A and B are shown apart, each in its own frame.
Chain A
């Protein structure tokens, strides 16, 4: 698997797209810092970017890479290699290069602007860690979609729909359900609903750092327990790991039963 990872990564690291992705983050970082020079505010703006854009790029890029490397995959399949290592290797190649683009692209400008001397370093590290998780999760979901759909157009469609659903529609439904059932205690429900969507979960994880004062203003005991302690952080990280591992597991399973 490590060999496949190496070659997929090697291939990607030299593709135009990972440069575009890298340069995009680099430019974003510099522009943000140039415009307001305030690390903490830039971190807030970045959060929005990471929550929305990273999943989108992870999804699109994952699907694209999977379909584009179909022939390469077939070449590998004829080699004496285990199937699951072929796909997991490719997956880690893609997810790894995306994550690297993200971390370097944002890390360089922020480091140049004195990140290490600033209090924002923890917020920023959390942001990057969350971004990395989201990349892993959404690339894995994208691979799942692609491996289950031979038709590229369909695959792309589903991938974009998945992103749209998790990034926007889910929250809309969530909000409506909260308002409709506002008479009932909703603490546990809303925490659970948050856990079930990796984007919401990542957002909450960052909120724990950025908007803790607002979150602690709310009365619910469950909320308080969750946000007031490190338990919230730990549960969130555990859930994000689940979100990464489950699609990978399905990917490995699907790959063993698929015809090429």
Chain B
């Protein structure tokens, strides 16, 4: 395994265009260089510092020249809760195969296991971070890659915990195949554009699995967000592409798979929302495309709050949700078309695969529950079925323009 990682990291170094091939400095408890700091001081640009298996009690390691920090057999750096462990300020730095524990916690400074400040072309991979405050903190960084790291926090509350992977004013970063657990936000983006987040698994985090603030033109795909405070929050951002992600088991009061708040022109394709209290909560978001998503066994598949215009839901599967859709107003400017609804009871006489009567996804009961939340206890009672039926026949409380005129008869594949 380690051999493979090494060859991979060497390959990556080559790909990064590291033309100047430096020498290798070995660090180990019995070597002539016993600490990483010593090695960094002794190294020249583009050298590789090979850290052998062992325990290194160090913090505030500053990488201010283009170096490669390569661990062999997962050496352990114990920060002893003193503060930040590794800080990168130079370009073209690689950190690979280290385990960092005991990052200092502070209410005034955001200490991180690894902080990258204004650097370019960095690579952070195969790291294991535990007992941390912030994990990997990127600050005004560009063109980097965060690959195959494992971050295991022990966060209980929001106010005294940090984020797993934190991006602030960053550009062109790839976050790939990381695993983040039990921190505040698994992955957090603020003012960060052109970020590609893929194949990550973000679970059991206190707040969000993934959190966007004021970030544009980002893509996240093939990630899994499970059992977080809420899955993913996308706020005040534009042109985000969300594809093939899994949002699962985000349960609880005000909990959702995906929150879309004040975002415009996003694409939401091929995602699976399963067993969340709310699949997607949408607030003040416009011109969003929802295509080919599966909403399975959620409390509410989609909850629309506030003004949302020109959202288009097409070819989605709504399967066995307690409620398919909830609206808190009678206005509707969104389009539902060609979706499959498991609650659809219509027929298809002309056999074209499209139901002959429209489907109304907003139930009167969902309107009542919005008004008086305690009434949720009457879910699936015969009485509610009866009044839902009467509302279906002649809509009074629910938006009468809101229906899927061409509901699919079979699940969209």
Touch test A–B (CB under 8 Å) = yes
* Residues of A bordering B, CB below 8 Å: 40-41, 44, 47-48, 51-52, 167-169, 171-172, 174-175, 178-179, 182, 186-187, 189-191, 194, 199-200, 203-204, 207, 210-220, 223-224
Q: How far apart are B224's CB and chain A's nearest CB, in angstroms?
A: 17
B382's contact among A171, A213, A217, by CB below 8 Å, is which?
A: A171
Cα distance A212–B277 in the bound complex, in angstroms: 8
Residue on B nearest A193 in the bound complex, by CB: B377
Tell me if B147 is interfacial: C-beta within 8 Å of chain A.
no
Contacting residues, chain A, for B212 (C-beta < 8 A):
none
Tell me if B4 is interfacial: C-beta within 8 Å of chain A.
no
Residue on A nearest B386 in the bound complex, by CB: A168
Beta-carbon contact of A203 and B277 below 8 Å: no
9-residue interface stretch from B136-144, B174-182, B237-245, B294-302: B294-302
Contacts A213-B298, A217-B252; A190 near B380 (Cβ below 8 A): no
9-residue interface stretch from B103-111, B367-375, B391-399: B367-375
Q: How far apart are A211's CB and chain B's nearest CB, in angstroms?
A: 5
Beta-carbon contact of A217 and B299 below 8 Å: yes
Beta-carbon contact of A172 and B383 below 8 Å: yes
Q: How far apart are B56's CB and chain A's nearest CB, in angstroms?
A: 44
Beta-carbon contact of A48 and B385 below 8 Å: yes
Beta-carbon contact of A51 and B373 below 8 Å: no
Most chain A CB atoms below 10 A, which of B254, B297, B376, B384: B376
Beta-carbon contact of B253 and A218 below 8 Å: yes
Contacts A167-B382, A216-B251; A179 near B375 (Cβ below 8 A): yes
B253's contact among A171, A182, A224, by CB below 8 Å, is which?
A: A224
Contacting residues, chain B, for A214 (C-beta < 8 A):
277, 298-300, 322-323, 376, 379
Cα distance A172–B375 in the bound complex, in angstroms: 11
Tell me if B381 is interfacial: C-beta within 8 Å of chain A.
yes
Contacting residues, chain B, for A171 (C-beta < 8 A):
378, 381-384
Contacting residues, chain B, for A199 (C-beta < 8 A):
381
Cα distance A218–B381 in the bound complex, in angstroms: 18
Contacting residues, chain A, for B378 (C-beta < 8 A):
171, 174-175, 200
Contacts A178-B374, A182-B371; A47 near B299 (Cβ below 8 A): no
Contacts A216-B253, A219-B254; A175 near B380 (Cβ below 8 A): no
Beta-carbon contact of B300 and A190 below 8 Å: no
A203's contact among B300, B368, B381, by CB below 8 Å, is which?
A: B381
A48's contact among B300, B375, B380, by CB below 8 Å, is which?
A: B380
Contacting residues, chain A, for B377 (C-beta < 8 A):
190-191, 194, 200, 204, 215, 223
Most chain B CB atoms below 10 A, which of A186, A200, A214, A220: A214
- A–B pairs, 21, beta carbons within 8 Å: A41-B320, A51-B380, A52-B382, A178-B372, A178-B375, A190-B375, A191-B377, A194-B377, A203-B379, A203-B381, A207-B380, A211-B380, A213-B322, A214-B300, A216-B252, A217-B252, A217-B253, A217-B277, A217-B376, A219-B373, A223-B377
Beta-carbon contact of A44 and B320 below 8 Å: yes
Residue on A nearest B297 in the bound complex, by CB: A213
Cα distance A178–B365 in the bound complex, in angstroms: 13
Q: How far apart are A54's CB and chain B's nearest CB, in angstroms?
A: 12
Tell me which residues from 261 to 290 in chain B have a Cβ below 8 Å from any Cβ of chain A.
Answer: 275-278
Contacting residues, chain A, for B376 (C-beta < 8 A):
214-215, 217-218
Residue on B nearest A171 in the bound complex, by CB: B383
Contacts A215-B299, A219-B373, A220-B373; A203 near B380 (Cβ below 8 A): yes
Contacting residues, chain A, for B277 (C-beta < 8 A):
213-214, 216-217
Beta-carbon contact of B379 and A179 below 8 Å: no
